[in-house]
């Protein structure tokens, strides 16, 4: 499952997106740390939250980071996305 929402900040017209994906290979806090490191290095990523219990990755980002680039970074880090 992949969800994407957009929020528009009227002060500076920056569009912030939230992309949420399920990565079934997440099993521990070490996985969460690896994912945060991998996604934190992407241009445009502002925040990464990983819920180990639900295997959910929530990424807040600007237009500079696309959903495809987020999924590709997760794949490179060894985590498939549903």
What pLDDT digit, counting tens, does each position of 36-54 carry? 999 999 999 999 999 999 9
Determine the CATH number of domain 2-76: 3.30.70.100
pLDDT tens digits, residue range 15-38? Answer: 699 999 999 999 999 999 999 999
Q: What is the DSSP string of 10-77?
A: TTTTEEEEEEEEE-TT--SHHHHHHHHHHHHTSTTEEEEEEETTTTEEEEEE-TTS-HHHHHHHHHHT
Structural domain spans, the chain: 2-76
The answer to whether the predicted template modeling score (pTM) of the entire model surpasses 0.85 is: no
């Amino acid at each position: 499952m992949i969800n994407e929402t957009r929020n528009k900040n009227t002060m500076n017209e920056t569009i912030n997106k939230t992309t949420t994906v399920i990565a079934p290979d997440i099993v521990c806090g070490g996985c969460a740390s690896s994912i945060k490191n991998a996604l934190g290095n992407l241009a445009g990523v502002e925040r990464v939250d990983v819920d180990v219990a639900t295997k959910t990755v929530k990424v807040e980002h600007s237009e500079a980071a696309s959903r495809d680039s987020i999924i590709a970074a997760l794949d490179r880090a060894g985590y498939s996305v549903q």
